Structure 1
Amino acid sequence: MIWTLRLIIVHFLPLVKCTSNMGQISAIWCAVDRMTGMNKAKKDNYNKNSDQCTNLILRHMTLSDSMSVTGTPTMLL
């Protein structure tokens, strides 16, 4: 997700440190409405067979590891 205001660009990435909940995180991150996706995931009511965003989430994991990001929030200038 990208948010822009007066030449300041903010990128949001999901920070995933283990792959055991990859399906749940993918279902939230790729939901049309992330709030609804989060509510469904909390109730364990999401599509567990969906590999919708798994590659995107794995790329985010690789990026955060390469930049030594270990927690949130993290600000890089």
Structure 2
Amino acid sequence: MAKKVFVSGCYDLLHSGHVEFFQQASRYGDLYVGIGSDATYLEYKHRKPMFPQEERLFMVKNIKAVKDTSIRDKGKGLEIW
């Protein structure tokens, strides 16, 4: 069974640096990515994201290096994986 690797972020304005980060992280095991919810983004960045959480989820989920992803709210656990 492969190790599970977890990373999280907002990934608004997804760019090549994010993709490279995912590729490198996936070398350590199956990569699971937490996407900051719109509410979490607003709390940390003090503005609304450019892309809504569902669109950011779709983009990250479709990166080859990513095994699975979910929208995360501040303080929520990792029970789904």
- TM superposition score normalised by structure 2: 0.28
Structure with the bigger percentage of helix: 1
Structure with the bigger percentage of strand: 2
Larger Rg: 1
Bigger relative CO (Cα 8 Å, ≥ 6 apart):
2
